[in-house]
Amino acid sequence: MNDVVIIGAGPAGVSCALYLKRAGRQVLVLDKADSALLYAPRIENYYGTVCTGPELYKQGLQQLNSLQIPVEKQEVVSLQMLANGFEMKTEQTTYQAKHVVIATGNKRESPNIPGLATMQGKGVSYCAVCDGFFYKNKAVAVLGNAAYAIEEATYLKNLAKSVIILTNGQPLKGKYSQVIEKKIASLQGSETLETIVFEDGSTLAVQGLFVALGTMGATDMARKLGCQIENNKIVTNTHGQTNIPNFYACGDCTAGVAQIAKAVYQGMEVAMQIMKGEKE
């Protein structure tokens, strides 16, 4: 079992890893290479730095390498608690850790489907582990087209009567038995979700829809563990601790301004707290 696994290699994750490694802690970084830095054309407001976002991201990885901190280019598709830590699954491997730090930034992908927002909590869910039990022996669908959606659908198959993946017009990146690759026009229902209407006029009767677009974001991971979420941000104390022991968050996935300076500071703060041990 790893001592600390950090999910994300942006400013927050790299800062946290550097402090922990220099203090003699054993650290592993999981990175799906989707840092917000990669979308920043130019950075001019960070101390001593004028460069592009991709250049700064590359420098961070080079710092990790210089301290021989292992970085695995893998996407986390499942996260759960164990009796003595946490277990993370990627498409290739399963990792375990005593401490987990989420530093993946804030998920940017959000579906623009009429009826989706109004049906949230009335048949639309963003967490199969959290809400799957309520759809036992019911017909449900999962919205997404990648590994995250397949993982959610596989979990739900043990509970629901039927589970179909809806890719919203995109090809499925993987294998699953029941798939509809049509564009969704709207979600309909009176008190709760009843029907998914596709752009070609066809319909699908379901009682639940689980949204798993793109990759598993920071709040998706935190929500599955029972972390407190407010305004789509992970709630932490001043040291980056969530309400789940040994589970931390730092950077853009937490409240406050989305700035490099803040992310670097929070990464350091989380590392210091892990080194001290949870005393608060």
pLDDT > 90: percent of the chain = 73
Query: In the predicted model, what is the mean pLDDT of residues 131-140?
Result: 92
Does the reported pTM lie above 0.85? no
Question: How far apart, in whole angstroms, are the C-alpha atoms of residue 229 and residue 227?
Answer: 6
In this predicted structure, the answer to whether residue 280 has a pLDDT above a threshold of 60 is: no
Confidence band for 130, pLDDT divided at 50, 70 and 90: confident
pLDDT > 70: percent of the chain = 98
Which has the minimum average pLDDT: 135-144, 197-206, 214-223, 269-278?
A: 214-223
What is the DSSP code string of 29-69?
A: EE--S--GGGG-S-EEEETTEEE-HHHHHHHHHHHHHHTT-
CATH number of 2-107+217-276: 3.50.50.60
Confidence band for 16, pLDDT divided at 50, 70 and 90: very high
Question: How far apart, in whole angstroms, are the C-alpha atoms of residue 32 and residue 21?
Answer: 21
Domain(s) of CATH 3.50.50.60: residues in the chain? 2-107+217-276, 124-211
HSE-up of residue 106 (Cα within 13 Å, Cβ side): 19
User: Which pLDDT tens digit goes with each residue over 28-85?
Assistant: 999 988 788 887 878 888 999 899 999 999 999 999 999 999 999 999 999 999 999 9
Residues 7/103, Cβ–Cβ less than 8 Å: yes
Query: In the predicted model, what is the mean pLDDT of residues 151-178?
Result: 95
User: For position 216, what pLDDT does the model report?
Assistant: 79
Could you tell me the end-to-end alpha-carbon distance of the chain, in angstroms, rounded to an integer? 25
User: For position 107, what pLDDT does the model report?
Assistant: 65
Question: How far apart, in whole angstroms, are the C-alpha atoms of residue 80 and residue 90?
Answer: 12
SS3 content of the chain, % helix, strand, coil (to 5): 25, 30, 45
Tell me what the pLDDT averaged over the chain comes to: 92
* Tokens 């564009």 found at: 183
What phi, psi does 203 have (nearest 5°)?
-135, 160
Q: How many angstroms from the chain centroid is the CA of residue 56?
A: 22
124-211: CATH class: alpha beta
Sign of the dihedral defined by the CA atoms of residues 29, 250, 108, 151, in that order: positive
H or E stretch at 128: helix 128-131
User: For position 278, what pLDDT does the model report?
Assistant: 52
In this predicted structure, the answer to whether residue 244 has a pLDDT above a threshold of 60 is: yes
Question: How far apart, in whole angstroms, are the C-alpha atoms of residue 273 and residue 204?
Answer: 49
User: Which pLDDT tens digit goes with each residue over 179-238?
Assistant: 999 999 999 999 999 999 999 999 999 999 999 887 778 888 898 899 999 988 999 999
